[in-house]
Amino acid sequence: MLHIYCPHCAEYREEEEFRPKGEAHIARQVAPESTSDEEWGDYLFFRKNPRGLHHEQWYHAAGCRKFFNVTRNTVSYEILETYKVGHKPSVTQQASAGRSSSKGAAK
């Protein structure tokens, strides 16, 4: 069971309090009426399924009921950081060589 740091509550809580909500950082199409069906379909349904680093949304359902983002390793389930919606991840695939010990890293 994961131990997840909620950036809103500023505490570690049990996985049971949270709901995973899929891939993060998916921008809504600016002009839906002028996008092609294929682009719209990609936006609605197509998601990454990476082996390794993954930025995903989580919902603190049984807590503050706010959304936030998690950078998680899908192989080891290690959580590298959690951050509020609208912020940029500090741990990315490109910059994951020097792993940061930012807030939310699993302890």
Partner 1 sequence: MSQQNRLGNGGRIDRSRPLRFTFNGVEYQGFAGDTLASALLANGVDVVNRSFKYSRPRGIVAAGAEEPNAILQLGATEAAQVPNVRATQQALYGGLVAASTNGWPNVDKDLMGVVGSVGGRFMPPGFYYKTFMSPASMWPKYEKYIRKAAGLGRVPKENDPDIYDHVNRHCDVLVVGAGPAGLAAALAAGRSGARVILCDEQEEMGGSLLDSRELIDGRPASAWAASVLGELASLPEVLLLPRTTANGYHDHNFVTLHERRTEHLADLAPSANGRRQVRARMHRVRAGEVILATGTHERPLVFSNNDVPGNLVAGAVSTYIRRYAVAPGRRLVVSTSNDHAYRAALDWHDAGR
How many angstroms separate the CA atoms of 90 and 96, rounded?
9
Shortest Å distance, C-beta 21 to partner 1: 19
Query: What does DSSP say about strands 67-73 and 53-59: parallel, antiparallel, or unpaired?
Result: antiparallel
Shortest Å distance, C-beta 104 to partner 1: 12
Q: Which is nearer to partner 1, 12 or 67 (CB)?
A: 12
Q: Which is nearer to partner 1, 13 or 66 (CB)?
A: 13
Contact 92, 52 (CB under 8 A): no
Q: Which is nearer to partner 1, 40 or 77 (CB)?
A: 77
Q: Which is nearer to partner 1, 14 or 39 (CB)?
A: 14
Contact 66, 60 (CB under 8 A): yes
How many angstroms separate the CA atoms of 40 and 46, rounded?
10
Shortest Å distance, C-beta 79 to partner 1: 8
Shortest Å distance, C-beta 16 to partner 1: 10
Residues in contact with partner 1 by CB under 8 A are 1-3, 14, 77, 79, 106-107
How many angstroms separate the CA atoms of 55 and 57, rounded?
7
